Structure 1
Amino acid sequence: MQIKFGTALMLAASASALQVTSPSRGDKLDLTSSNEVTWDSVESDPTSFDIQLVNEHVNPPVVKTIGTNVQTSAGSYTFSNVAAAVGYEPCLSPF
């Protein structure tokens, strides 16, 4: 099963410069295998954050946390075993 990454990345903190560099907008991910999220950061970013998949196309919105306390300095995170669903967008949630 594949999921298409949403058209927008939502950042929980407007002061944060965390920016996803991969996957790109519109990329399709094969949820039956491992997937990697990569990002760029600046010195003023938090040292860790959560990575979530958010579906705002349903009411109430659904949030699936796929990474907790991810270290900003790592620059990437690999996830797998996510149940397939339509309408999810990635969200980096700084503390």
Structure 2
Amino acid sequence: MQIASAFPELNMGRLLTGEGEMLRPSPQSGGDVTSGTVVGANISGSGNSFSHSDTLTVLRLLQNCQDQLKKKDEQIDRLLALLEKK
């Protein structure tokens, strides 16, 4: 789980199931990035450094991918329903 170690503020359950909040509450304040708390302002690992804005960009990209996967799953469900009618 390289994502989990690089982005500890992410809710891994959300990434796997699409349910729940994208970010885990901050241990210091109980908040998350969306409530104004800076989580992972500078994440370093493997010689790479991510700023807070980079982290937010990655989170937005992950959310976008998750939304697209949900739409794909809905389309598959509709196609399966059509096939079952035949």
By relative contact order (CA 8 Å, sep 6+), the higher-ranking structure is 1
Provide the TM-score with structure 1 as the length reference: 0.21
Which one has a larger percent helix, Structure 1 or Structure 2?
Answer: 2
Provide the TM-score with structure 2 as the length reference: 0.23
Which one has a larger percent strand, Structure 1 or Structure 2?
Answer: 1
Which structure is larger by alpha-carbon Rg, 1 or 2? 2
